[in-house]
Amino acid sequence: MKLVKDTESKIIGTNKVSDKEAEEALKTILTWMGEDPTREGLLETPKRVVKAFKEYFGGYTQDAEQILNKTFGDVEGYDDMVIEKNISVTSHCEHHMAPIVGTAHVAYIPNKRVVGLSKLARVVEVFSKRLQTQERLTMQVAKALMNSLNAKGVAVTIDAAHQCMTMRGIKKENARTITNYFLGQFKEDLSIQDRYLKFISK
């Protein structure tokens, strides 16, 4: 069993199911759909889907805290916000397993030390590669950065389209969802929050 920690340091375990068992389950679903999993075009489909799912949901075996554990102090006292805009997000909603596709903006105010810029995008990816709600995803990214970096403040914004709304159900193809989560100085000081929102809207 592979284990990772969430932002509240709880252990998340993935039940040990073999690739073969997962492939057999997918054959059952194909049959339920009305397909013939033994026909030529579908013979390798269960194996391909299992491989794809390992990529889609790889966040269950990754630890955001570990990604953020290397920081740098040689920044000559820089203490203003660091913003990384336009981070692509691809996730899946936990209700219908339909794709969520959008953009994340992440900012933090360092407390003496900074983290490599690529790590901000990697933290977004860790939590997005799990079954999600957008609200929880936004909070998980923010809390992981705040806790791991001991930051003075963190802001996270996600703007995304949910295919459970655009392709099924209400079928509103232009609908987008925007979520924000602020911690520390971004929550306490509206002028800092306003600066952040202006930066990400440019």
Task: Give the residue numbers marked as catalytic.
Answer: 93-96, 134, 162, 164
AA identity, residue 26: L
Which residues partner with 101 through β-bridges? Answer: 90, 161
Which residues partner with 181 through β-bridges? Answer: 156
AA identity, residue 13: G
155, 142 in Cβ contact below 8 A?
yes
117, 128 in Cβ contact below 8 A?
no
CA dihedral in degrees (116, 197, 62, 135; nearest 10)?
A: 170
- 3-state class (DSSP) for residue 9: coil
SS3 for 79-112 is: CCCEEEEEEEEEEEECCCCCEEEEEEEEEEECCC
- Pairing type for strands 82-93 and 99-109 reads antiparallel
